[in-house]
């Protein structure tokens, strides 16, 4: 079983309209709702790859109930979310049909009490007993200490469970010090962490901060991985047009599934890049276009950096 943790889950609401006009009334032509948050997106992709997946984190209020009802329709993902008194946040995406641009509005999330946090920790420790790996993903809701990913990483490593960390800012900085097996920042997060905009230098710096390996998402340029076994960059063979929302989450699923399956690094990166690109072609985060994925698996270009990691 692969465990995903989404401490700040969301009910994703997508509004589509012919054209977004500022400072006036806009009429929405299509509305879609789905369970959201980085870890839940990762869980759906892992399940589509054939892995038994359990999703935990927090859910509460009317939006939390709606999220869990939608998640129950996805029988391949097991719901182990912990109830809280506050309401799960909403993330609202407004898609402009003329330009294809998306405007995102993200709420902060519910305030988590100390008692609710203790309940989650008990659930987390119990789930680790059956986990082959765990993904710690996304932002933190109010009331959760900024060092929680470091704590959860240490708990998982004590249990012998590999950890993938995908977050940003201070939670990323503190989480790295707990030595996760893999950190997956994007280029902006990596630059903010290290102060360097040169990806290879920044990824090496991030690894020196504690992660056993760093896989940096570089958008259309693919993924750069700096590991104890070597350094590689994998990139799609061509530009893939579409909506990049959730592409990084699909990359996490590719990397984590490759870790569990014991694939060599070039194969993990190939899968992650192919899934990421195939998500750009999909209708929503947590999904990928199977035809694009299968096509790209044999076409992703992997470059070996000979310099020491």
Residues annotated as catalytic are 249
Strands in 187-229 per DSSP E: 214-217, 223-227
Per the listing, tokens 């641009």 go with 101
- Could you tell me the two tokens for 148? 């929680």
Rounded Cα distance between 134 and 247, Å, is 19
11 φ, ψ to 5°?
-95, 110
Rg (CA), the chain: 19
245: helix, strand or coil: coil
Number of H helices, E strands in the chain: 10, 14
Rounded Cα distance between 52 and 45, Å, is 11
Q: Is 159 left (phi over 0), alpha (psi -120 to 50) or beta?
A: alpha
């Amino acid at each position: 079983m692969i465990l995903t943790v989404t401490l700040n889950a969301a009910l994703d609401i997508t509004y589509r309209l012919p054209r977004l006009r500022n400072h006036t009334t806009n009429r929405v032509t299509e509305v879609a709702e789905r369970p959201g948050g980085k870890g839940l997106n990762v869980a759906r992709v892992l399940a589509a790859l054939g892995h038994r997946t359990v999703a935990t984190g927090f859910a509460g209020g009317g939006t939390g109930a709606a999220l869990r009802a939608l998640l129950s329709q996805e029988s391949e993902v097991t719901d182990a979310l912990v109830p809280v008194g506050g309401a799960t946040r909403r993330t609202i995406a407004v898609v402009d049909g003329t330009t294809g641009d998306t405007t995102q509005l993200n709420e902060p999330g519910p305030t988590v009490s100390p008692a609710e946090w203790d309940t989650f920790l008990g659930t987390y420790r119990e789930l680790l007993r059956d986990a082959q790996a765990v993904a710690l993903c996304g932002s933190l809701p109010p009331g959760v200490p900024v060092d929680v990913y470091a704590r959860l990483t240490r708990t998982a490593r004590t249990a012998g469970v590999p950890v993938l960390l995908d977050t940003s800012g201070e939670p990323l900085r503190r989480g790295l010090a707990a030595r996760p097996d893999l950190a997956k920042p994007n280029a902006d997060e990596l630059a903010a962490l290290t102060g360097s905009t040169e990806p290879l230098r920044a990824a090496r710096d991030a690894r020196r901060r504690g992660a056993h390996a760093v896989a940096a998402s570089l958008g259309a340029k693919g993924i750069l991985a700096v590991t104890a076994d070597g350094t590689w960059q994998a990139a799609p063979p061509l530009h893939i047009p579409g909506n990049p929302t959730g592409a990084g989450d699909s990359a996490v699923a590719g990397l984590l599934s490759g870790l569990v399956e014991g694939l060599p690094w070039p194969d993990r990166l190939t899968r992650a890049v192919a899934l990421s690109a195939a998500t750009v072609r999909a209708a929503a985060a947590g999904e990928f276009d199977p035809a694009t994925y299968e096509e790209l698996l044999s076409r992703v270009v992997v470059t070996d950096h000979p310099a020491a990691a």
